[in-house]
């Protein structure tokens, strides 16, 4: 049976899934960092933020680009990804 998605399409979907999961974790940790002064959460939020930037760079070959800029509870800026 033929595959529904090509290898590249699967990789692009994985990147989008990873970005969405990281975004959810960033929201949680940014809140804990800002409103509860949790230093470990601040460290994790910064790490996830860097991972999201890496994913955005990788996703450019998939046609995904940054669109809307959003602010997390901790004041971090991130862009949502959109397919062109």
SS3 17: helix
Check residue 23 and give its pLDDT. 87
Q: Tell me the pTM.
A: 0.72
Q: Which residue has the tokens 């989008």?
A: 16
- pLDDT at residue number 68: 53
CA 33, CA 27: separation in Å to the nearest integer? 10
Write down the pLDDT at residue 54: 92
CB-count exposure of residue 5 (10 Å: 0-12, 13-18, 19+): exposed
pLDDT confidence of residue 39: 97
Tokens of 35: 């409103």
Flag residues of the chain having pLDDT under 70.
1, 65-84
């Amino acid at each position: 049976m033929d595959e529904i998605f090509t290898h590249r399409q699967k990789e692009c979907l994985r990147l989008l899934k990873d970005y969405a999961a990281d975004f959810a974790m960033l929201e949680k940790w940014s809140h804990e960092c800002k409103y509860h002064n949790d230093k470990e959460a601040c460290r994790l939020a910064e790490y996830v933020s860097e991972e999201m930037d890496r994913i955005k760079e990788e996703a450019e070959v998939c046609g995904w680009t940054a669109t809307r800029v959003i602010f997390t509870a901790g004041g971090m800026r991130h862009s949502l990804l959109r397919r062109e």
